[in-house]
Amino acid sequence: MYKERIEAYMREHRQEFVEDICELCRINSEKMPPEEDMPYGPGAAECLDAALDMAEGYGLETVDYDGYVGCVDFDGTLPRQLDILAHLDVVPAGEGWTVTGAYDPVEQDGKVYGRGTADDKGPAVAGLYAIRCVRELGIPLKKNVRLILGTDEECGSSDIRYYYSKEEEAPMTFSPDGEYPVVNVEKGRLAGHFTAGFDPSGALPRLVKVEAGVKTNVVPGKARAQVEGLDPAVLEEKAKDVESRTGVRFLLEQEGALCTVTAVGEGAHASTPEEGNNALTGLLALVCELPLAPCRQTELVRDLAGLMPHGDVHGTALGVDMEDAVSGRITLAFSMLTVDASGLDGEFDSRVPVCGNEDNVLKVVKARMAEKGLALLNDSMTPPHQVDADSDFVKTLLKVYERYTGREGKCLAIGGGTYVHSLKNGVAFGASMPGTDNRMHGADEFAVVEELLVSAAMFAQIIVELCG
């Protein structure tokens, strides 16, 4: 019911739809230092104001929650039923754009290029057009649908925590900031932070320092160490041997008695560490092979390499390897480490299946590290998130997806966390179609216009079925 009318509406408004996406994507809305009434800086504030003005121009009700979040309602006097949770902030533009500038969006060959087109301004506009479509087609609703537009998803989601300190969750929430068909299970997370201290040692040969990692949730593609007092020939021989075993390359720069070792692997997201080749664990594998003088620093680094050895992406050596049928196998990425003469500081990122908890993951890791003199500073972890695949809510999403795309509708479990991770009845629904790599967070990010129009049509149908 209504499918033909909804699809016709989206076709008739295609050009306007693209223009509205481009209007928002011309604004650099990455997080900036806060200013008065602008908790995430002027860019995010400008983009939020533009989106709310856009909605008001289409006759829809809007609410601004102190610049943290903006909302668009079908009819705020109706009982709450469905929230669509999207975001307007973006990651930095970065380098390597070839089709157009990051903030100069263009449509080419059926794709809109620009930062935020896929993540998440395009899907946000799809949500707006879904509400607009239902209203302009005169389809009656008994309950309200609200589009929530956040501005800090990329940097911790403090925006949405602020919003839910003011408002209750709707009975149902989906976020078009993931993938199709439906993501109803998200692994938990232990973002481990550990330290250790020791007395400096001047004995040679020695490890001077280690510097590796950019963010906890990124498998490092490069890592560096500096060693002193080693025979260059021995170092080169050991590097070739470890490279043959790990696939990590080593670049050696000798300056007198000091040698800087750069390990080059392949970066990846920490939720999928098997897709990369960890330069940090490769570097530690080399350090363990070097004939360094005995000291507490050397002992701790070798113990650390034993707890998270190269290639172990499931926490096997730490004693937490586990798996379940719902969410799959645990992953663990050793992502950051600094070592100097008197201490070390490191971080790892573990994505924990539904069967995992603080007793069988956090406490086990803490105990294993303590045995080696490493202090895990974490006292809690983010629990897994799961919404019943047999709920009427999820079944409705899957049914509409199948009807509008002709593809199989099924539930997915992922290692990454989405905007709805902490919501009791929240799932990710789109807006990335299977087989489409939108280059999110990379250069030449794009959204396929027809795919976004299908998303908008599906959202409208879902509004009708859940709120009508």
pLDDT one-digit tens code per residue, 39-66? 999 999 999 999 999 999 999 999 999 9
What is the pLDDT, as a whole number, of residue 417?
83
Asked if the model's pLDDT at residue 269 lies above 90, the reply is no
Asked if the model's pLDDT at residue 466 lies above 90, the reply is yes
Asked if the model's pLDDT at residue 454 lies above 90, the reply is yes
Reading the block at residue 187, the tokens are 């692994």
Instruction: Give the mean pLDDT of the chain.
Output: 97
**Mean per-residue pLDDT, 374-379:** 98
Confidence of residue 1 (pLDDT cuts 50, 70, 90): confident
Residues 6 or more apart from 36 whose CB is under 8 A from it?
none
SS3 track for the chain: CCHHHHHHHHHHCHHHHHHHHHHHHCCCCCCCCCECCECCHHHHHHHHHHHHHHHHHCCCEEEEECCCEEEEECCCCCCEEEEEEEECCCCCCCCCCCCCCCCCCEEECCEEECCCCCCCHHHHHHHHHHHHHHHHCCCCCCCEEEEEEECCHHHCCHHHHHHHHHCCCCCEEEECCEECCEEEEECEEEEEEEEEECCCCCCCCEEEEEEECCCCCEECCEEEEEEECCCHHHHHHHHHHHHHHHCCEEEEEEECCEEEEEEECECEECCCHHHCECHHHHHHHHHHHCCCCCCHHHHHHHHHHHHCCCCCCCCCCCCCCCEECCCEECEEEEEEEEECCCEEEEEEEEEECCCCCHHHHHHHHHHHHHHCCCEECCCCCECCEECCCCCHHHHHHHHHHHHHHCCCCCEEEECCCCCCCCCCCEEECCEECCCCCCCCCCCCCEEEHHHHHHHHHHHHHHHHHHHC
Q: Helix, strand or coil for residue 460?
A: helix
What is the pLDDT, as a whole number, of residue 296?
97
Q: What is the DSSP letter of 38?
A: B
The per-residue pLDDT for range 116-139, each reduced to its tens digit, is: 999 999 999 999 999 999 999 999
Beta-bridge partners for 148:
71, 85
Q: How many CA atoms lie within 13 Å of 105's alpha carbon, on the beta-carbon side?
A: 27
The per-residue pLDDT for range 147-184, each reduced to its tens digit, is: 999 999 999 899 999 999 999 999 999 999 999 999 99
**Mean per-residue pLDDT, 426-447:** 94
The per-residue pLDDT for range 63-94, each reduced to its tens digit, is: 999 999 999 999 999 999 999 999 999 999 98
The amino acid sitting at 69 is: V
**Mean per-residue pLDDT, 248-260:** 97
Residues 6 or more apart from 345 whose CB is under 8 A from it?
193, 194, 195, 337, 338
Residue 393 CA to residue 308 CA, distance in Å, equals: 41
Residue 223 CA to residue 39 CA, distance in Å, equals: 35
Residue 280 CA to residue 301 CA, distance in Å, equals: 12
